[in-house]
């Protein structure tokens, strides 16, 4: 099975740690949005799309890749993230990215999220939130998630 994980992790490496666990289980390579040609994604059996959460949404570089891909019949995909706060009910950014990917021809088969260390202002004033996250329990949950995808 050919698997690629497209990941943006810029602040503390939270999402990169999750991506590496997923990649280990799935035998995938992890790339940034700028390192992958959308045509290469067409040949993948499974593609992961993940980032930290910035301003209550996925990173703009990841969203831009998803939005700029031409619509084609593609394979399966999954979405993942790490964030300081849980996703609020009124702002479902995971669902929005999954819909964008669906319009681009992906069958989104799962989503994973966990907490991560966050020093976004005003959290910086108290030394951040989610210290030591993602931790062992989070990364084990990511491993189980990947195993459920076929890893």
- The DSSP letter of residue 69 is S
pLDDT at 137: 94
Quick one: tokens of 27? 């035998």
- Domain extent for 110: 3-148
pLDDT of residue 151: 55
Q: Say which CATH number the domain at 59 has.
A: 3.40.50.360
Cα distances (angstroms) measured from residue 141 to each of 32, 112, 134:
23, 9, 10
Q: 45 is written with which tokens?
A: 């059996």
Question: Mean pLDDT, consecutive 10-residue segments, the chain of 151 residues?
Answer: 94 88 97 94 95 89 95 91 74 89 96 78 60 86 95 55
The pLDDT of residue 11: 77
Identify the bridge partners of residue 81 per DSSP, sorted by sequence position: 51, 113
**What is residue 68's predicted lDDT score, i.e. its pLDDT?**
93
pLDDT score recorded for residue 127:
60
User: The whole model's pTM is what?
Assistant: 0.90
Total domains present in the chain: 1
């Amino acid at each position: 099975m050919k698997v690629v994980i497209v990941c943006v992790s810029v602040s503390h490496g939270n999402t990169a740690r999750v991506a590496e666990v997923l990649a280990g289980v799935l035998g995938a390579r992890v790339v940034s949005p700028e390192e992958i040609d959308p045509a290469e994604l067409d040949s993948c059996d499974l593609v992961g799309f993940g980032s930290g959460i910035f301003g209550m949404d996925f990173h703009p570089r990841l969203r831009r890749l998803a939005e700029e891909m031409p619509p084609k019949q593609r394979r399966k995909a999954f979405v993942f993230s790490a964030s300081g706060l849980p996703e609020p009910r009124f702002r479902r950014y995971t669902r929005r990215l999954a819909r964008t990917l669906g319009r681009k021809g992906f069958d989104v088969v799962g989503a994973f999220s966990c907490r991560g260390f966050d020093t976004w202002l005003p959290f910086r004033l108290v030394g951040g939130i989610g210290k030591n996250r993602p931790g062992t329990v989070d990364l084990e949950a990511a491993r189980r998630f990947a195993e459920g995808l076929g890893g």
